[in-house]
Amino acid sequence: MTRLFPHFSEYQGVWPWKNFAPREVACKHCGELCPDPASLNALQALRNAWGKPIVINSWQPVTAERKKRTLKALLELLLSTPAEGDCEGSNGEAMCAALVKKAIAGDMRAFSIIRDTVGEKPTNKVAVNIHPESLGVAACEQKALDACERLLALRDERAAHGQGKAP
């Protein structure tokens, strides 16, 4: 998993890409650094093969989608860390246990969250069958629609056989 640094100056350790500084691949607006090793390895290999400097004009700005992915990764990390206090297991397990206790005690919102999360959320499905007569389409209008459909089918058939356009 790619690690996120709120600012490129917070990167510590040996930077593995000798020709590209963290500042170059950080967001130009806020300085956030989320290095993508595969991309940087490929870029470094290109630089090595070419033998000349490569100037990076734009790398990867912070986007709402990337911030959402970053938040998700952070939450996953926090949920997987050991729970504090009397709880055994991870924070995620402790939260699930607390939610189940609330549901057992009668909290309908907790019950709904559990039900929806495990994939048993009820859906409203409505089957609709529409018949021309139910819409008030007169018999003569239906005959006209049928005739138009036959003409279109004939045109398509002739076009498929290379006979030109239908009258």
Write down the pTM of the prediction: 0.37
Q: For residue range 71-130, what is the model confidence (pLDDT) as tens digits?
A: 787 788 888 888 888 778 888 888 888 899 999 999 999 998 888 888 877 776 666 666
DSSP secondary structure of the chain:
-PPPBSSGGG--S--S-TTS-GGGGS-TTT--B---HHHHHHHHHHHHHH-S----S------HHHHHHHHHHHHHHHHHSBPPTT--SBHHHHHHHHHHHHHHTT-HHHHHHHHHHTT------------GGGGT--HHHHHHHHHHHHHHHHHHHHHHTT-----
Tokens encoding 76: 């996953």
The pLDDT assigned to 65 comes to 67
To the nearest whole percent, how much of the chain has pLDDT over 70?
77
The pLDDT assigned to 166 comes to 46
The pLDDT assigned to 36 comes to 81
Highest mean pLDDT: which range of 27-36, 105-114, 140-149: 105-114
The pLDDT assigned to 101 comes to 92
